[in-house]
Chain A
Amino acid sequence: MNLTLRVWRQAQSDVAGALVEYQAIDVNPDMSFLEMLDVVNERLISAGDVPIAFDHDCREGICGSCGMMINGVAHGPMKGTATCQLHMRSFRDGDIVVIEPWRARAFPVIKDLVVNRSALDRIIQAGGFISTPTGGAPDGNTMPIARQASDSAMDAAACIGCGACVAACPNASASLFTGAKISHLGLLPQGQPERYRRALKMVAQMDLESFGGCSLFGECQEACPKEISIDVIARMNRDFLVAAVAASEERSGGDEG
C-alpha cells in the first residue's frame, strides 16, 4: 500500500517547524507504524535528506517513548496500544496520515516528533516514591493486601509515562499521569506513610510544570495505551483535598523532608 504522510519537521526547539509531505511507497500492512517510518527514513537518507527524528526504544509498548499524534489521535487509531504496536493494516491504501509531536508547553519539541517529557520525571521526583528500607525481596503474602487494592494498584502502575494523556487532553493536563502515580502507591500499605504529603507535592509539581487543569473530558482515558481509568483522577483529587483541608502534617506521618 501507498500512503501520503504529512510530518511535522522542526530542526530544533527554537526554530519554526512545518508539516512536510512525504510519500510512503510499498508499505507492507504487517509493518508497525515505526517500521513504516524506518522505511521512509531509509529513502530520505539515500536521497541525502535528513531523516525524520522520532523517539523509540522497546518497540513493544512498555517504555513509553514512541508517542506521536497520528491523524489527530494520540498513538493512532488502535485503542490500548502505543505507536510501536500500531500496524499499518489499520490504514488503507491512499490514506493521508498527519503526524505531529505531542503538543504542550510542558513538552517542548526537541526535534521533529521528539519532545522533552522531563516534566513527568520531575512530578515523580516530587513524591512518587516510598521511603521503606527495601533490602531483599520479601516472601510473597507476608503483607496482607486486599485483592481489590492490589488489582487497582497494578492497573494504575501500568502507566508507562508516555504522555499520551497530556497530548490528547484539550487542556494539556497531566492529571491522568499524576493520578496514576499517586494511586499506584497510595492504594498499597507500603505507600501509606507518605500518602497525603505525596499528593500535595506531586500536585504542586504538576501545576508548576504548566500543564492545564482537568475538565474531565475523558480524552486521556481513551488515548492511554494502558487504558488507565479516570478513576485515578478522582482518587488523586480526594487525597489532595483531604491533605490540603485536614492538616496535612499529622496525616503524612514521619518527618522525612
Chain B
Amino acid sequence: MWLVTLYRSTIGKKSIMAVTGLVLVAFVIVHMAGNLQVFLGPAKMNGYSAFLKSTGELLWLVRLGLLTALVLHVLMAWQLTRVAAAARPHDYARRDARASTVASRTMRWGGVLLLAFIVFHLLHFTTGTLFPTASRPDAVYPAFSEHDVYGNVVSAFHNPWVVAVYVVAMLFLLLHLFHGAWSSVRTLGLSKPSPQPLHRRIATVVAIVVWLGFTAVPVAVLLGVVR
C-alpha cells in the first residue's frame, strides 16, 4: 500500500505534514475572514455563527477533518524531529546559520506553542471554560454566551492580557506560515525550478495577511474601535 510506503520514509512523512499543513492554512484563512465580520456589527457576526452551528453534522465532519489533519501534522513533526535529533548525536562546537530563517528554525518549538495556543483558544472561545470575564463583578461586559459570539469577543479583549496572548500567538503563526506555506509546496515537488529557490512571494503575502487579519480584531477591541 502506498500509504505505508509514504509513512515509512522521511519524504513521505514530510509530505503528510505538508498536505495537512496546507489544509490547516486553508482553515486559518477562512477562520480569519470569518473573524473580520466583527467589524460589520453583532447581527452579521452572530448570524454567521448561527449559520455554522445550523449545519449540524457537516460542522462536525469538518471539525473531525481538521482534528485529523492537526493530529497527523503534529505526529509527523514529532517523528521527524526525533529522526533529525538521532541523525547528529554529536553536535558541533560551532555551526553558523547562513541561509535558514528565524521562521524555519522556530518550526518545532513554535509549533508546540501553537498547539498550546489552539488548546487555550478552544477552551476560551468555543467552550468558554477559560473565559476570564465570566467572573468579573462589574457587569459592564457580558459573560460568556454560546449565542453571542460578538459579545464574547468584545468582553474577552477588554483584558489586555488576553489581547497579549493572542497577539504573541499570531506572531508565531506568522513565522510558522512564512516557512510552512512556502516549504509545503516544495516538499510536495509542486514548485517550478527557480533561480532564487529560497524566495517566497505567495507565502509572505499569506503569512502577513493572516497575521494582520487575526491581530486586527483583539487590537480593535482594546482600542475601543469595536465595542
B-contacting residues of A (Cβ < 8 Å)? 6, 19, 69, 71-73, 98, 100, 103-106, 152, 168, 170-173, 200, 203-204, 206-207, 210-219, 221-223, 229-231, 233-241, 244-245
Q: Which residue of A lies closest to B96 (CB)?
A: A72
Cβ-defined partner of A72 (8 Å) among B6, B12, B92, B188: B92
Question: Which residues does chain B contribute within 8 Å of A213, judged by CB atoms?
Answer: 10-11, 13-14, 80, 83-84
How far, in whole Å, are A7 and B146 apart by their CA atoms in the complex?
A: 65
Cβ-defined partner of A221 (8 Å) among B94, B193, B197: B197
Q: Is the CB of A212 within 8 A of B87?
A: yes
B194 at the interface (CB under 8 A from A): yes
Cβ-defined partner of B198 (8 Å) among A152, A215, A221, A239: A221
Q: Is the CB of B186 within 8 A of A234?
A: yes
Q: Which residue of A lies closest to B104 (CB)?
A: A217
Q: Is the CB of B87 within 8 A of A203?
A: no
Q: Is the CB of B197 within 8 A of A170?
A: no
Question: Which residues does chain A contribute within 8 Å of B93, judged by CB atoms?
Answer: 6, 19, 98, 100
Which 5 A-B pairs have CB atoms at the shortest separation, nearest pair first?
A: A238-B189, A213-B10, A212-B87, A218-B99, A171-B84
Q: Is the CB of B9 within 8 A of A217?
A: no
B95 at the interface (CB under 8 A from A): yes
Interface residues on B, range: 35 or more
Q: Which residue of A lies closest to B198 (CB)?
A: A218
Q: Is the CB of B86 within 8 A of A100?
A: no
Q: Which of B6, B80, B100, B182 has the most CB of A within 10 A?
A: B100
Given A214-B14, A238-B189, A72:B94 Cβ within 8 A: yes
9 further contact pairs, Cβ within 8 A, besides A170-B97, A173-B10: A103-B91, A105-B89, A170-B95, A212-B88, A221-B197, A222-B98, A234-B197, A235-B193, A241-B6
Q: Tell me how far the C-beta of A13 lies from the nearest C-beta in chain B, rounded to whole angstroms.
A: 11
Q: Is the CB of B189 within 8 A of A204?
A: no
Residue-wise interface mask of B (18-43) relative to A, using a CB-CB cutoff of 8 A (1 in contact, 0 not) = 00000000000000000000000000
Q: Is the CB of A204 within 8 A of B9?
A: yes
Q: Is the CB of A237 within 8 A of B197?
A: no
Q: Is the CB of B189 within 8 A of A231?
A: no
Question: Which residues does chain B contribute within 8 Å of A105, judged by CB atoms?
Answer: 86-89
Cβ-defined partner of B88 (8 Å) among A103, A221, A238, A245: A103
22 A–B contacts, CB within 8 A, in A order: A69-B95, A71-B94, A73-B96, A100-B94, A103-B88, A105-B87, A106-B87, A170-B95, A212-B86, A213-B14, A213-B83, A213-B84, A214-B14, A217-B100, A229-B194, A234-B193, A234-B197, A237-B189, A238-B189, A240-B9, A244-B2, A244-B9
Residue-wise interface mask of B (179-195) relative to A, using a CB-CB cutoff of 8 A (1 in contact, 0 not) = 10011001111110110
Q: Which residue of B lies closest to A74 (CB)?
A: B95
Q: Is the CB of B193 within 8 A of A73?
A: no
B5 at the interface (CB under 8 A from A): yes
Within 8 A of A (CB), among B141-195: 179, 182-183, 186-191, 193-194
Q: Which residue of A lies closest to B15 (CB)?
A: A241
Cβ-defined partner of B90 (8 Å) among A71, A98, A103, A214: A103
Q: Tell me how far the C-beta of A193 lies from the nearest C-beta in chain B, rounded to whole angstroms.
A: 21
Q: Which of B8, B11, B15, B92 has the most CB of A within 10 A?
A: B11
How far, in whole Å, are A71 and B94 apart by their CA atoms in the complex?
A: 6
How far, in whole Å, are A34 and B183 apart by their CA atoms in the complex?
A: 37
Question: Which residues does chain A contribute within 8 Å of B221, judged by CB atoms?
Answer: none
Question: Which residues does chain B contribute within 8 Å of A71, judged by CB atoms?
Answer: 94, 96
Question: Which residues does chain A contribute within 8 Å of B188, judged by CB atoms?
Answer: 237-238, 241
Q: Is the CB of B100 within 8 A of A171?
A: no
Q: Is the CB of B198 within 8 A of A172?
A: no
How far, in whole Å, are A175 and B109 apart by their CA atoms in the complex?
A: 23
